[in-house]
Amino acid sequence: MNSTPTNSRWSAYLQLVLARLRELIREPEVVFWVFGFPILLALGLGIAFRNKPADVTAIVIVENPQAQDTLTMLQHSPQPASFRATVLPRDTALNGFRLGKYDLVIETNSGGSLEYLYDPARPESVLSRALINDALQNSAGRKDPLLTKAVVSSEPGSRYIDFLIPGMLGMNIMNAAMWGIGFGIVDMRQRKLLKRFVGTPMRRSDFLLALASSRLVLMLIEVGLLLGFGALFFHMRVLGSLAAIILVGTIGAISFGAIGLLTAARAQKIESASGLINLVMMPMWIFSGVFFSYERFPVIIQPFIKVLPLTALNDALRATILEGAPLFAHPSRILIMLIWGAVSFLLALRFFRWT
């Protein structure tokens, strides 16, 4: 550096990227959010979604002379492993049911007829009743008139974890871009560093480009970590090409970076900027299908949900990762992100304060 007499066109840009990356990597909080958070998230999800045997339904049989017969019938049914039955006095049985310890209470009447006590509001209770009824009827000699065959399917790609990881990826891209750009700029403005930079021959476009580039580098690391963990721990099948995933992520990151730039256009204090950034992101955390599908919201607000940039990003990521859709298979989603990005960027340029 010292021996070079003149600087080239891009030396300022390169130094700005380098300085920003150094600063970020030397900040413990950033290291945590970029590297630690995806790992912790993956670990947490790993514990929550580890491979468990199919749920065993716990039922209780009210103690009376016929109770033992019912238990024997159940144990001789074709699928004795899928339930756990206990015989208890009536009061204890009902109390256990009320506390959710048992999904179903069976009382055998002296005439041999059965009485099921279940809670229609508890899915496992409804399921248990159907299951136990089938088991008992089959055991008693019921013949099904229709011949059926059940095929087991828990293929990677259709599980909740497969739905969740692209959503987390989308949310992480939004968080990182909004905070990295928005917070970073307001912090530098508050420290009068923006003003100091503007007092040099530095090109303002180089500065913004460098800020965005340094964030993109971190985004690539985050995407890699999350997908890597998904593939390693949950045998998540990444169907789309890595290039397509990175491209979708980059478009999302640039779009959110522009929105972050707009939120930071005027704020002089970090406090006011953080409020604004959270205000912009909160509706998307809820509506944009990060943790659950937005199809659950009323149909009437679906069109509004679909034009949110995070919805578009999540949908595009899911289509790319889970279905292997090529980039231009979903032009409307890409377009939504690009429009949000472009409009925010133009507005930001119009209102931005360097000093």
Partner 1 sequence: MPLAIHCRDLRKTYEGKVEAIRGLNLSIETGECFGLLGPNGAGKTTTIEILEGLLSSSSGDVTILGRTWKRNERELRELMGISLQETRLSEKLSVRETLTLFASFYHRPRPIDVILDQLQLTEKADSWVGKLSGGQRQRLAVATSLVGDPKILFLDEPTTGLDPQSRRQLWDIIREFQKSGGTVLLTTHYMDEAERLCDRLAIIDHGQIIAEGTPADLIDRLGGHHMVEFEINDNSPLDRWRSLPGVESVRHDDGLVALSVHEPHLTIPALLDALSKQRSQLLHLSTRQASLEDVFVNLTGRHLRED
- List the one residue out of 69, 45, 74 whose CA is nearest residue 57: 74
Q: DSSP letter at 115? A: E
Regarding 155 and contact with partner 1 (CB under 8 A), the answer is: no
Q: In this chain, which of 142, 192, 269, 353 binds partner 1, going by CB under 8 A?
A: 192
> Minimal distance in Å, beta carbon 191 to partner 1?
4
- Quick one: 76 or 353, whose CB is closer to partner 1? 353
Instruction: Looking at 235-329, list the stretches that DSSP marks H as alpha helix, in order from N- to C-terminal side.
Output: 242-263, 270-287, 302-306, 309-323
Using rule CB under 8 A, residue 268 touches partner 1: no
Note whether 11 binds partner 1 by CB under 8 A: yes
Q: Which helix (H) or strand (E) holds 207?
A: helix 204-234
Spatial separation of the C-alpha atoms in residues 228 and 215, rounded to whole Å: 20
Q: Which one, of 221, 253, 240, 260, lies nearest residue 317 by Cα? A: 240
| Residue 195 binds to partner 1 (criterion: CB under 8 A) | yes
Closer by beta carbon to partner 1, 173 or else 264: 264
**% helix, strand, coil for the chain, step of 5:** 65, 5, 30
Amino acid at 211: L
Q: Looking at 84, 122, 196, 353, which residue binds partner 1 (CB under 8 A)?
A: 196
- Residue 12 as a binder of partner 1 (CB under 8 A): the answer is yes
The yes or no reply on residue 153 touching partner 1 (CB under 8 A) is no
**Least CB distance to partner 1 at residue 13 (A):** 8
200 lies in the site for partner 1, by CB under 8 A: yes
Q: Which residues contact 261 (CB under 8 A, 6 or more apart)?
A: 181, 182, 185, 208, 344, 345, 348, 352
By CB under 8 A, tell whether 6 contacts partner 1. Answer: yes
Nearer to partner 1, 193 or 307 (CB): 193
Does 241 contact partner 1 by CB under 8 A?
no
99 is a site residue for partner 1 (CB under 8 A): no
| Interacting residues of 322 by C-beta distance below 8 A, sequence separation 6+ | 157, 162, 163, 166, 237, 239
Where on the chain is the footprint of partner 1 (CB under 8 A)? 1-3, 5-7, 11-12, 14-16, 18-19, 22-23, 26-27, 191-193, 195-202, 355
